[in-house]
Structure 1
Amino acid sequence: MPDRSFLSWPFFEDRHRDLAEQLDAWCAKNLPVEHQDVDAACRELVAKLGRDGWLKPTALDTENPGPLDVRALCITRETLARHDGLADFAFAMQGLGTGALSLFGTIEQQQWLAKTRTGKAISAFALSEPRSGSDVANMEMAATRDGDFYLLSGEKTWISNGGIADLYIVFARTGEAPGAKGLSAFTVPAETKGLSIAERLEVIAPHPLARLSFDNVRVPASALIGKPGDGFRIAMSVLDVFRSTVGAAALGFARRALDESIGRVADRKLFGAPMAELQMVQGHIADMALDVDAAALLIYRAAWTKDMGAARVTREAAMAKLFATDKAQEVIDRAVQLHGGDGVRKGHIIESLYREIRALRIYEGASDVQKVVIARQVMGAA
């Protein structure tokens, strides 16, 4: 039984506690889904999550506008990740993919949100390029103004939901100024002429990923999100909201690893006694529990701070993502050790967690980049 004591922390309201309880019950009945065909599995997950209302926190409700509830996003990602990493992925990309529309979109652009919140459309966030991952300001893809249109040319890579998305939020260089100040964001429906899937990318924890090619993709000027040159600010604002949720997913993986390990050491005997009686094993469990609680505190501090109206939570979100993802890697590695051969047996939950966690220390800002972000925030404040 997973630890629920954190839900009594003052970061949460009753609606968050209800969300955690109800979603956990739903997950127990509906997850995991069959992963053999990853594209089909993701489509099924988005449809199920949307049908049953679990995608609502991912985007602005245009009928009852209000800020995104970051604590709800984090609780949902933590809960889904504890049950099924692919379910967490499906949920998360619906939020990240449309975050720019929730925060900066026009009324017309936000019509997409009714579809993504109900699972009737799949979204994607197209930011990374072959030569610019965490260094967004180094982006090369160009968007050239052509009357009432823009022509997009270049490539995007490591795009989650690439190949199955109905809508891509695409960032490109419009050239208002050098570096970060010359970027803009656009809505690009998947069927737009000139947009193609150049390559499907396979990774150790299978997810729908692709390299996208844009060959003079013609989009109307109304596809521009915000103003020309706002792209970097839009991207960073979206990451400010969703970076904490990456930490929450890592936390869900870590909690599952801890729960499985507690069960393992209680049942498994070594040298004539349960493993749990060995001081070395107790030390591992203590370290794992400490890392889980510390990560949770940082994650929900960042989420609460944003929900309380902070314009930016760059420092808090970076700390939460860095610590939670790095420590989840350590927690899961200890779980592998405690499970012995089973920990690396294909198909075992611990082996799956071991593969799932690694990417979280890379995407939405790699761990080393988060250290740079934190240092700049700390020194800037001083």
Structure 2
Amino acid sequence: MSGWFELSQKYLDLRSEARALAAACADIADRADEADSFDPDVRTRLKESGLAAVLVAAEYGGRYEAVDSLAATVVREALAYESGHLDSMFAMQGIGSYAVSVAGSDEIRREWLPKVAALEAVSAIGLTEPDVGSDLRSITTTVVEKGGELVVNGHKSFITNAGDASFYEILAREGDGYSLVFVPADTPGLSVAKRHQIIAPHVLGDVILDDVHVPSANRLGKPGAGFKLMLATLATFRVSVAGAAVGVAQAALDEAVRHASQREQFGTTLARLGGVPATLATCWVEIEMARSLTYRAAAAAAQDPLGALDLSSMAKVGATEVAGRVTDRCVQVMGRFGLIRGSKIERLYRGARPMRIYEGSTEVILDSLAKKLVKDRAKGATTK
């Protein structure tokens, strides 16, 4: 992996840590990446590495003063290079707990965030529903306040970490607005069903809430603040998906270069045959462009997450689309060896595909960016 983007020593050291953890999980990555629940060995190794603390503020047992988008992105690039399961396990500790960090009660923060940092508790966020994906304003899950308690009813679908999570941040309608509610996994009325699996197996399930009662203090922020908290989470972590995508693309290219350099056909190595050299070089060019945009966006998000959201969105689209193209080309370069079930390149190929959908699909993000572009142009603003 290239070091052309100038990271400070803090991030270089962090990247070294993450690469060491990824390498330590290489022997179990094939198994872990087919799992639909937490792989115990991956969890143990991630916990022992201390890297989950990157996703929690120092006040609550984390590593840095505040959650750092660039730090999360650097780590995800290194982890996704080796294992999607490891990358997801790491990332969701931040994505699923960020609203608690910025809007949870003091009691909830003190009790839960140190456990998140130490990977003693697993976090999750419940947004989508069986009939609701990107259009989250159409959710039907509800929360009603009664006698000092919040009563939650609904059905969340395709929820990462469902079944292994220690708590869920649940998005629900509250009156005319939307709120996020902190729901411990062992709360009566909450159940999990493993209804679905995707082409790149994932810890995934449906979360069903049937008259779930939690204290009113478990509302994260004020009533109606749910979308604002979601946006804050998105602004902080969307760019880290781009980091993971760059890691996947780099791993695929490394696999293809290794194969093409050793495979001989028609009296020469595959790496010097026909259109293969241009294919490999094109992959390299696109990965470096994606990495540069990703790190630029992540550095900006680390300073001002909401202010850098457009740039983070561009990086997410750009890097995930690059990962899709690169992994496809690399399978083609490797020919029949790229199609072998259980090979690393096949695993990377499947792993790249969902990245273009989750955390905002390419089409949804491009639509949002286009609206912003036209609006800014109408105001006389210029792109930078």
Regarding TM over 0.5, the answer is yes
SS of corresponding position for 1:130: coil
Q: 1:36 to 1:99 in 2, by over 3 A?
A: closer
Please tell me whether residue 346 in structure 1 is matched to residue 341 in structure 2.
yes
Deviation at 1:55, TM superposition (A): 0.7
Deviation at 1:40, TM superposition (A): 5.4
Distance 1:219 1:32 in 2: 42
Q: 1:292 to 1:360 in 2, by over 3 A?
A: same
CA displacement 1:253-278 (0-9 Å, x = unmatched): 00001111111111111111011112
Please tell me whether residue 308 in structure 1 is matched to residue 303 in structure 2.
yes
2:263 alignment partner, one of 239, 263, 268: 268
Distance 2:11 2:231 in 1: 26
Could you tell me which residue of structure 2 aligns to residue 51 of structure 1? Answer: 48
Q: 1:307 to 1:381 in 2, by over 3 A?
A: same
1:370 alignment partner, one of 345, 365, 368: 365
Distance 2:287 2:158 in 1: 29
| TM-score w.r.t. length of structure 1 | 0.93
Q: How does 1:274-293 map to 2 (within 5 A)?
A: 274-293=269-288
Please tell me whether residue 130 in structure 1 is matched to residue 125 in structure 2.
no
- 1:52 maps to a residue whose letter is S
Deviation at 1:134, TM superposition (A): 1.2
CA displacement 1:43-86 (0-9 Å, x = unmatched): 44233212221111122222577321111100110000101111
SS of corresponding position for 1:216: strand
SS of corresponding position for 1:206: coil
Distance 1:297 1:145 in 2: 47
SS of corresponding position for 2:154: strand
Where in structure 1 do 4 or more consecutive aligned residues deviate above 6 Å? none
Q: 1:58 to 1:30 in 2, by over 3 A?
A: same
SS of corresponding position for 1:156: strand
Contact 1:70/1:303, CA 8 A, preserved across alignment: yes
Please tell me whether residue 4 in structure 1 is matched to residue 2 in structure 2.
yes
Distance 1:308 1:332 in 2: 32
Distance 1:233 1:36 in 2: 33
| TM-score w.r.t. length of structure 2 | 0.93
Q: How does 1:7-26 map to 2 (within 5 A)?
A: 9-10=5-6, 12-26=7-21
Deviation at 1:32, TM superposition (A): 4.3
Please tell me whether residue 206 in structure 1 is matched to residue 234 in structure 2.
no
Aligned residues: 372
Contact 2:154/2:208, CA 8 A, preserved across alignment: yes
- 2:161 maps to a residue whose letter is N
- Taking every aligned residue pair, what percent have the same amino acid on both sides? 34
Distance 2:309 2:34 in 1: 37
Distance 1:156 1:41 in 2: 20
SS of corresponding position for 1:66: coil
Deviation at 1:232, TM superposition (A): 0.5
Contact 1:51/1:119, CA 8 A, preserved across alignment: no
CA displacement 1:139-166 (0-9 Å, x = unmatched): 2211011121111111100000001111
Unaligned runs of 5+ in 2: 378-384
Distance 2:26 2:94 in 1: 20
Contact 2:301/2:312, CA 8 A, preserved across alignment: no
SS of corresponding position for 1:38: coil
Distance 1:140 1:256 in 2: 41
